[in-house]
Amino acid sequence: MAMNVLWTRLGETGKDWRYVYKALAVIEYLVAHGCERAVDDIIEHTFHFSAPNVASGAPSPNQNIRSSGGSKTN
């Protein structure tokens, strides 16, 4: 059930960007310290992690989210 909430939170947009950031933080913790079953589930759902689209060259206030998401895909 908890993993379903994480996958739902990763799909949030707009003002709910904090949910995405927190979900990425939980996933990062689970990869490092979680059980094998949780890690397997994360591997199966790697399609949720994608590179963000940045239209302009200006720095983004959400750079931490982008760097967290990008580090999970590598």
Q: What is the pLDDT of residues 18-45, one digit of tens each?
A: 888 899 899 999 999 999 999 999 888 8
Mean pLDDT of 8-20: 86
* pTM given for the model: 0.63
**If you average pLDDT over each of 25-29, 58-62, 70-74, which comes out highest?**
25-29
End-to-end CA distance of the chain: 26
Task: Give yes or no for residue 70 having a pLDDT over 90.
Answer: no
Check residue 60 and give its pLDDT: 59
Q: Which residue, 14, 24, 16, 18, is CA-closest to 48?
A: 24
Of residues 48 and 8, which shows the higher confidence score?
A: 8
- Which residues lie closer than 8 Å to 52 by C-beta, 6 or more apart? 62, 65, 66, 69
Cα separation, 36 vs 28, in Å, equals 14
